[in-house]
Amino acid sequence: MNTLVIRRWASYGFVILLLAGFGSSCAGDQPVPPNPAEFKPDVRPLPPGLATYEAMAIPADNPMTPEKVALGWQLFFDTRLSADGSRSCYSCHLNEHGLTDGLPLAIGALEKKLPRHSPTLWNIGYHKEFYWDGRSGSLEKQGMAAWTGGNMGANKDEITAKINAIPGYRAQFQTVFGGEATPERIMMAVSAYERTIIGGQSAYDRWKAGDESAVSGSVKRGYQVFKDSKCDQCHAGVLFTDLQYHNVGIGMDKPEPDVGRAKVTNKPEETGAFKTPTLRDVARSAPYFHDGSGATLQEVVDLMVGGGKPNQWLDKKNLQKVNLKPEQKQELLEFLRSLTIETSLGEPALPQ
Ligand code: HEC
Ligand code: HEC
């Protein structure tokens, strides 16, 4: 695939500084101007990537620019994109819920009930396939589906016409794309913004970068428990996901289980397999699992430590029951809490 690439950045301290600048600390300090035609978008420098991860692949036909990211940021937060004006993308990917929505199953525009739980978007630009079952091949395609499907219920031509009627948006589309908004350009901008949703700053990361005082002794022991229990077989590396699909048994006891990955690949052995979720910000993103059936972090960890839920397709190769003492389970939980992300998405001012 023909891709451009964001350079890897050497200094971790630099990462934290820039990300803090990109996060909520600057949000809201720009008043909405009285004259709509005078809207000045809040354009910020592109944030660097995750210091210790491979470079992010950027589609060659949708390069990143600060102006495009600023435009996508506004669109991501704008409820005018949905059929009934009730929801933006952000409505289901909220800061206070670790970029999920706090519901077991998401509810779309026009109160449409959706079949799955809203996943976090931290570091989503590093993923190669999207959704719990990986059925979408790019952020651009995924965004279009969320926008025009049940999540936002949008008639894309109608909404695009509305966007073009807003002077502040019109001017920005002209600057970024040299013409007016089209449905594809709207999703290109939103996707460019999503590639800046980088979460690489937590107590755990500060510890890994050399600050021994960043976490407690029990977090450090909990990290060892995590590795000894082979959780990192699937929740691997800096992203805490291998980006692969596994059956750990969730929902398999329902009368008509969600077959997950098997529907995409037609491979029976992938029945009930779902993309390993990242564990970054996991303490904030309850409830858990693709069907929202895990109510608390403690309950979910108990289930995983117990080797998942037995069923015909359980991934026993990678997931094995481990026997942990109560204090080891506590330490494991402490470790997971140390992955809480210390910045948040800032809210942009929107053109009126
Ligand atoms: C009504 C709630 C809701 C809204 C609004 C919403 N999403 Fe989501 N989002 C979800 C749910 C639920 C899923 C998982 C669906 C699945 O896996 O089948 C998801 C999945 C995603 C994913 C894939 C994550 C992954 O791990 O693969 C991305 C990216 C995403 N949404 C971005 C967006 C964007 C961009 C918008 C706006 C255009 C948006 N979402 C609007 C609920 C929502
Ligand atoms: C075989 C791969 C695999 C192993 C090993 C594994 N997990 Fe998971 N984990 C998954 C998958 C896949 C899911 C999502 C399942 C679903 O939604 O159907 C998940 C979900 C989770 C969740 C919920 C996250 C969320 O956002 O919904 C937590 C927490 C978790 N695992 C912790 C652990 C811990 C702790 C261990 C080690 C004891 C572990 N996992 C071992 C694959 C694995």
Q: Mind listing the pLDDT tens digit for each residue in 293-311?
A: 999 999 999 999 999 999 9
CA distance 114 to 145: 13
User: Does the Cβ of 290 fall within 6 Å of ligand 2?
Assistant: yes
The pLDDT value given to residue 22: 43
Ligand 2 lined by 76 (C-beta under 6 Å): no
CA distances for 280 relative to 34, 79, 99, 244, 262, angstroms? 40, 27, 10, 16, 26
Burial class (CB within 10 angstroms; exposed 0-12, middle 13-18, buried 19+) of 330: middle
Query: In angstroms, rounded to a whole number, what is the distance separating the alpha carbons of residues 293 and 291?
Result: 5
Q: Count CA within 13 A, CB hemisphere, residue 317.
A: 6
- Token representation of residue 256: 């008509």
CA–CA dist 196, 66 (Å, integer): 10
Q: Ligand 2: which of 123, 300, 335, 338 to mutate, judged by most atoms within 8 Å of the beta carbon? A: 300
Which residues have a Cβ under 8 Å from the Cβ of 126 and sit 6 or more positions away? Answer: 50, 53, 54, 56, 239
Using a 10 angstrom Cβ sphere, with 0-12 exposed, 13-18 middle and 19 or more buried, the burial of residue 217 is exposed
Residues 80, 74: Cα–Cα separation, whole Å: 11
* Nearest ligand by distance to the CA of 89: 1
Tens of pLDDT along 310-343?
999 999 999 999 999 999 999 999 999 999 999 9
Q: What confidence score (pLDDT) does residue 8 get?
A: 38
Quote the pLDDT of residue 92: 98
pLDDT of residue 24: 40
C-beta 314 within 6 A of ligand 2? no
Q: Is 250 in the pocket of ligand 2 (CB under 6 A)?
A: yes
For the chain, residues with pLDDT lower than 70 are 1-34, 36-37
Q: Are 309 and 319 in contact (CB under 8 A)?
A: no
In ligand 1, the atom with minimum distance to the C-alpha of 76 is 37
Ligand 2 centroid to residue 277 C-alpha, Å: 7
Q: Is 132 in the pocket of ligand 1 (CB under 6 A)?
A: yes
pLDDT given for residue 9 in this prediction: 32
The finding on whether 173 has its CB within 6 A of some atom of ligand 2 is no
∠ CA 185-191-194, rounded to 5°: 150
Residue type (1 letter), 161: A
> Is 117's C-beta closer than 6 angstroms to any atom of ligand 2?
no
CB 269 within 8 A of CB 313: yes
Q: Is 229 in the pocket of ligand 2 (CB under 6 A)?
A: yes
**Burial code of 83-96, b = ≥16 C-beta within 10 A, e = fewer?**
beeebbbbbbbbbe
Q: b/e for 261-297, b at 16 or more Cβ within 10 A?
A: bbebeeeeebbbbbbbbbbbbbbbbbbbbbbbbbeeb
Q: Write down the pLDDT at residue 51.
A: 85
> Among 151, 158, 313, 332, which Cα is nearest to 229's?
332
Which of 89, 110, 128, 278 for mutating ligand 1's site (highest number of atoms within 8 Å of CB)?
89
**146 C-alpha vs ligand 1 centroid, how far in Å?**
6
